[in-house]
A and B are shown apart, each in its own frame.
Chain A
Amino acid sequence: MIGLTHYLVLSGILFIIGLIGVMKRKNLLMLFFSTEILLNAVNIGFAAVSKYYGDLSGQMFAFFIIAVAASEVAVGLGLLALWYKRTGSINLDELQMMKG
């Protein structure tokens, strides 16, 4: 039988995959993708806790996380498009503007 532990372990594994992406990749688009993975991993954990404790608050927080993710994508992609127009690059290392 699948219990709460299974879902929490899965959520942790997905969160670690997202963290690896955030730390390893230098492509700014990949950083956005990794952020989505992090948010989704947390959503699975919330939904599982919501079911096994019989409480709907977990699902509510998952909804608000989805709303936050949607607005993050809108603003982030806007900024990224602006940055790409200005510099012609989506490399994270070129964001160091104050480098002497």
Chain B
Amino acid sequence: MYEIIAFYTFAILTISMFSIVVLSKNALYSMSALAGGMIFIAGFFFLLDAEFLGVVQIIVYTGAVMALYAFGMMFFDTTREVKEKIHAKKVVYILAILSAVCLVTILSAPIYSANIQALYPTLEGVGNIQMIGIVLFTKYLIPFELAAIMLLVAMIAGIVLVSDRMDLNITVKEDNEEEGEMI
């Protein structure tokens, strides 16, 4: 009973929040609604006995990603409205039909899921976080390391893209410091 109430409450809240994100004209409202929706999705993860995933969802998505968006929006003039006019009608229709076909395929895919077997079944008496540690550091070790490298590359890319004077060499600049002061 408790689970049913929680599921429907979170479902209604998440769907309405994400509808606000998609349909709102103001980017600031969208961002706030998106942050709210992320937290409600963490509620689903707690319902599904995935406590670690829920905590990561709150910390990484709501804490890091949305904060990054909030800081990133300071670069843009978000009060000015973007003109949203569809120019090529024919392309829109073709894309809509194609994505409808794709969606039907995706949503009907679970019909063929009857013969799925658990490859790494959860052990009895082991908590979720312990079990995640066991699976992550045995079976999924290489993807884990690759994810670390990917995050490092993304961090360097973000720093290089946003900062201005990355093309200047610091040591060269120190040598020419007096010259710079004279200018």
Contact = CB atoms under 8 A, between A and B. Distances in A.
Tell whether A pairs with B.
yes
Contacts of A60: 132, 135-136, 139-140, 143
Contact of A78 (B19, B45, B162): B162
A19 B157 contact: no
Interface string A36-78: 1100100110011011011111011011101111111111011
Interface of B is mostly: helix
Interface residues of A, number: 67
Contacts of B143: 60, 64
Interface of A: 1-2, 6-8, 10, 12-21, 23-27, 29-30, 32-34, 36-37, 40, 43-44, 47-48, 50-51, 53-57, 59-60, 62-64, 66-75, 77-82, 84-85, 89-91, 93
Interface of B: 3-4, 7, 11, 14-15, 18-19, 21-22, 27, 30-31, 34, 37-38, 41, 44-45, 48-50, 52-53, 56-57, 60-61, 64-65, 68-69, 72-73, 75-76, 78, 82-85, 87, 92, 95-96, 99, 103, 106-107, 110, 116, 118-122, 131-132, 135-136, 139-140, 143, 147, 150-151, 153-155, 157-158, 160-162
